[in-house]
């Protein structure tokens, strides 16, 4: 196995993650606006009864949206700035590029993650026992959505399609699945097929591990394994089948 270029990962994380926060903090507010608006609406409509679901759902939404937003960013970097062409000419490979993007996005997502962690602590959703499993869950979600974003971005022929596709996927995969509401609201015959979506698997595990929904150990294990396997599978597919070199 090829050793990842640690210097590239560090440099790219600073370039694409830290510098984006410093130069364009308004975009941080932009990706936070939708989950915070949904948090507000859910709080008003349910009179606070489902606010804990909105907090967990907001954390999932922030991570997933950042992964899917890579589609627009990657298409721009590939077709407009030609950054990918520069990397192709070096020893950096697609796996290094994906890892760099994922770490940069994790850093870029950190203000939103910190905000939702604070809310989770205030509303007693987050405890010492579920902190690590929840962190692993949302990190795997970012990993899988970033891999999906990288693969799809390599197929998009024009920059304007990239932003549209990213927005469409973000809306569909964070609103329809049981991210902001209990997964038990759906019949088992529906949420089991939806388990194939990374956001559904992450939401079921998160709602179970935070005791928002009485979830069996079997369902916790299944949802976590689905998310773990999808992260590995999508990463492999994105490295193996995405278009790295332009024809």
What pLDDT is recorded for position 184?
92
Q: What is the pTM of this model?
A: 0.85
pLDDT band (50, 70, 90) for residue 247: low
Helix ranges (H only) for 80-158 are 83-88, 94-122, 131-153
Dist CA 42 CA 27 (whole Å): 23
- The token pair at 221 is 């294990």
How many angstroms from the chain centroid is the CA of residue 121?
21
The domains of the chain are located at 4-239
The 10s digit of each residue's pLDDT in 90-110 is 878 888 888 888 888 888 888
On whether the CB atoms of residues 173 and 69 are closer than 8 A, the answer is no
């Amino acid at each position: 196995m090829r050793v990842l270029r640690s210097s590239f990962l560090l440099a790219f994380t600073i370039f694409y993650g830290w510098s984006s926060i410093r130069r364009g903090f308004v975009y941080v507010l932009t990706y936070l606006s939708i989950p915070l608006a949904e948090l507000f609406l859910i709080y008003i409509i349910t009179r606070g009864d489902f606010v804990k679901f909105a907090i967990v759902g907001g954390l999932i939404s922030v991570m997933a949206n950042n992964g899917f937003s890579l589609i627009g960013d990657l298409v721009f970097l590939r077709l407009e700035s030609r950054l990918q062409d520069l990397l192709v000419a070096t020893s950096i490979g697609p796996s290094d590029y994906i890892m760099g993007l994922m770490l940069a996005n994790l850093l870029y997502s950190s203000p939103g993650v910190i905000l939702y962690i604070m809310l989770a602590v205030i509303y007693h959703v987050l405890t010492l026992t579920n902190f690590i499993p929840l962190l692993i869950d949302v990190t795997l979600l970012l990993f899988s959505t970033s891999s999906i974003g990288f693969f799809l971005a390599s197929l998009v022929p024009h920059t304007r399609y990239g932003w549209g596709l990213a927005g469409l996927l973000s809306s569909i995969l964070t609103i329809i699945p049981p991210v902001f509401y209990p997964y038990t609201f759906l019949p088992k015959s529906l949420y089991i097929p939806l388990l194939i979506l990374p956001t559904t698997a992450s939401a079921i595990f998160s709602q179970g591990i935070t005791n928002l929904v009485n979830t069996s150990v079997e369902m916790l294990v299944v949802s976590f394994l689905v998310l773990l396997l999808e992260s590995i599978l999508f990463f492999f597919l994105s490295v193996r089948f995405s278009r790295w070199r332009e024809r």
